[in-house]
Amino acid sequence: MIFPTIETERLNLNQPHENDAEQVAKSLNHKEFSDNTLTIPFPYTMENAQFWISLSQQGFESETNYIFAIRQKDNPRLIGAIGLHLDKNHNKAELGYWLDKEYWNKGYATEAVKAIIEFGFSNLGLRRIFATFFDFNLASGRVLRKAGMVQEGKLHSYTKKGNTYQDHIMYAIVHNA
Ligand SMILES: CC(C)(COP(=O)(O)OP(=O)(O)OC[C@H]1O[C@@H](n2cnc3c(N)ncnc32)[C@H](O)[C@@H]1OP(=O)(O)O)[C@@H](O)C(=O)NCCC(=O)NCCS
């Protein structure tokens, strides 16, 4: 399969490339990303970005991770990323996403999430797409609700970040074919 491009009203979602690394490192080198996620470190280095891009390429080749760069249609600059991590045994995937701070609160994440849900159901034939976020990450919950996902519950002490146990909120959408 050739890496797909997903087109939305204002965005192109397509493959992250090695030459996006500098932009990724710049965009993610803010504490908010580390505070709101388990996997994004702070400070965020060029090596972190290069490793993430190589993981996204391996994930696509092994059909386990579909990670797209988020770009505005009129500008090739990467402004964020969105991905599905597949669990083939159960025909479901976990959704994750982030957006460069400069572009927050313009509806871009919601637009990308809606498109990736459609891709997951129509192109990958998934039954279920889910996402969890830290309970204080209200913007993330709002994005998932606007994209049609529903809250299934609160996962108490679901992860341990450093010495702190973290509650997560679980959202999901199920494709009823
Ligand atoms: C979460 C994130 C991707 C949202 O991206 P975005 O493009 O700004 O999202 P949208 O513009 O589509 O929607 C954001 C919504 O959250 C709302 N919002 C923003 N900050 C908020 C806050 N502190 N409290 C409550 N709602 C908030 C906005 O008002 C908007 O809702 P509205 O359209 O009803 O007004 C972005 O904030 C981000 O990258 N955060 C850091 C990484 C992260 O948390 N990733 C998700 C991990 S699960």
Q: Which atom of ligand 1 is nearest to the CA of 96?
A: 48
Distance, in Å, from the CA atom of 107 to the CA atom of 126, rounded to the nearest integer, reads 25
Q: Where are the domains of the chain?
A: 6-132
- Position 176 scores a pLDDT of 87
Cα 113 to middle of ligand 1, angstroms: 12
Strand order in the sheet with 128-134: 6-7, 11-14, 65-72, 78-87, 92-99, 128-134, 164-174, 150-161
Distance, in Å, from the CA atom of 128 to the CA atom of 110, rounded to the nearest integer, reads 18
Name the 3-class secondary structure at 122.
helix
Q: Which atom of ligand 1 is nearest to the CA of 105?
A: 11
- Position 10 scores a pLDDT of 98
Residues 77-87: pLDDT tens digits?
A: 999 999 999 99
- What is the dotted CATH code of the domain comprising 6-132? 3.40.630.30
Mean pLDDT of 47-57: 98
Cα 151 to middle of ligand 1, angstroms: 16
Q: With bands split at pLDDT 50, 70 and 90, how would you rate the model's confidence at 177?
A: low
Cα 142 to middle of ligand 1, angstroms: 6
- Position 49 scores a pLDDT of 98
Cα 140 to middle of ligand 1, angstroms: 5
pTM exceeds cut of 0.75: yes
